[in-house]
Amino acid sequence: MAIMGRMILCAATATLLITAPLGAAWAETVLITGSNQGIGLEFAKQYAARGWKVIATHRRASVPQSLAELQQQYPQNVQVETMDVSDHAQIEALAAKLEGEPIDILLNNAGLIRYEPLDKPDNNMDQRFGTLDYKGLDQFIHVNVAGPLKVCESFVENVKASQLKKMVTISSAAGMVSMLPRGGDHYWYRISKAALNSAMRLMTVSLKDDGITVVMFHPGGVQVESFGDLKLPGFVPPEVAIGKMITTIDGLTFEDSGRFLQNDGRDHPW
Ligand SMILES: NC(=O)c1ccc[n+]([C@@H]2O[C@H](COP(=O)([O-])OP(=O)(O)OC[C@H]3O[C@@H](n4cnc5c(N)ncnc54)[C@H](OP(=O)(O)O)[C@@H]3O)[C@@H](O)[C@H]2O)c1
C-alpha cells in the first residue's frame, strides 16, 4: 500500500481511498454511538473503509478489542472515544472535546434491547404483561430516548458546521404503532422505540431552519453477535443491512427529513 500525500492506493483491491489526517477540515466525519459491536461496529468498519473520519464511541471501561483492532487497521481515520449515552456528563465531555469539529453524520445507534440473552428460556419475562418490572421502563427510556436526544442536543453545532448535516437514528419496527405487534413481548423496548420516533419527529421540526436532515431507520432483521447461536429466519448479516443503509444515507436530502425508513430507503410504517 503506497501512501501518496492524502491518497492511499490499495494495490490488492485496486481501489483508491481518499483519506485525511485526523482533524483535517475536508474529510467527511461520522460519529457513531454504541460502535463496539453489532450494527454500530459494522457502520464504523464500512465508513472507515471509505476513508471517512470515524469517531467510534463505546460505553466500556476500556477500549473494546473490536475498536482497538479497527483503530489499528485505520490509524489515520478512526478515533475511539468513550460515551455512555445514559451518562450526560460523558456526552458533554466529548462534545466539549470535539467543539468546532464538523460532524457530517451523527449516528445514534446505541440501544438497550433486553437484559437477558435472546435465547434464555424465560426470555425477558420482566418485559411481558403480568410480570413487568417498572424500573426497567426508566432505564429503557433513559438509554433509548433521552440518550439519543441528549447526543443530538450536545453535538448539534458540530452537525450544523458540516457539509452534509444529517442526524440518523437507528430505531426499530418494534416502535411501530400503526399495526398491532406480532407478540406481546419486549414492552419496554417497543415503548421506548415508539417514544424515540416521536422525539426524532419533534427534532425534525426544531432543526428545520438549520437545514439538518433527521431520519430514523428500521435496520431490518440483522444477525448480530449478541444473538449468540440463535439464528433468526430472514435476518441478514450486518454487512448487507448496513451496506444498504449507507447507500440510502448517501442519497438523503433535506426533503427526506422526518422520514422513518427501511434500510433500502423505502418508507417504514409508523
Ligand atoms: N439487530 C437487529 O435486528 C435490530 C433490529 C431493529 C433495531 N435494531 C437497533 O439497532 C441498534 C443496534 O443494535 P444491535 O442489534 O447492533 O445490538 P447490539 O449488538 O446489542 O449492540 C448494541 C450496542 O449499543 C451499545 N449500548 C447499549 N447501551 C448503551 C449506552 N448506555 N451507551 C452507549 N452504548 C450503549 C452496546 O454496548 P455494549 O457492547 O457495551 O453493551 C452495543 O455496542 C439498536 O438501537 C437496536 O435497537 C437492531
Residue 64 CA to ligand 1 center (angstroms) comes to 14
Cα distance between residue 118 and residue 63, in whole Å: 25
Indicate which residue's Cα is closest to atom 6 of ligand 1: 172
What is the rounded average pLDDT for all residues in the chain?
Answer: 89
11 confidence band (pLDDT: 50, 70, 90): very low
Question: Do β-strands 53-58 and 29-32 pair in parallel, antiparallel, or remain unpaired?
Answer: parallel
20 has pLDDT over 80: no
Tell me what pLDDT residue 270 has. 98
Cα distance between residue 99 and residue 91, in whole Å: 12
**Cβ(109) to ligand 1 under 6 A?**
yes
Tell me what pLDDT residue 232 has. 87
Query: Could you tell me which residue, 158 or 117, shows the higher pLDDT?
Result: 158
pLDDT digits 0-9 by tens, 88-132: 999 999 999 999 999 999 999 999 987 766 666 555 667 788 989
**Cβ(66) to ligand 1 under 6 A?**
no
43 has pLDDT over 80: yes
Query: Could you tell me which residue, 59 or 128, shows the higher pLDDT?
Result: 59
Mean pLDDT, range 28-51, rounded to an integer: 98
**Cβ(59) to ligand 1 under 6 A?**
yes
Structural domains in the chain, CATH included, are: 28-262 (3.40.50.720)
Out of 217, 224, 235, 239, mutate this one to test ligand 1's pocket (max ligand atoms within 8 Å of CB): namely 224
Residue 208 CA to ligand 1 center (angstroms) comes to 28
Beta-sheet strands, E only, within the chain: 2-4, 7-10, 15-18, 29-32, 53-58, 78-82, 105-108, 166-170, 213-218, 260-262
DSSP code string of 49-90 = HTT-EEEEEE-SSS--HHHHHHHHHSTTTEEEEE--TT-HHH
Tell me what pLDDT residue 24 has. 47
Cα distance between residue 176 and residue 172, in whole Å: 8
Out of 216, 222, 231, 242, mutate this one to test ligand 1's pocket (max ligand atoms within 8 Å of CB): namely 222
Tell me what pLDDT residue 123 has. 59
Atom of ligand 1 nearest to the CA of 86: 31
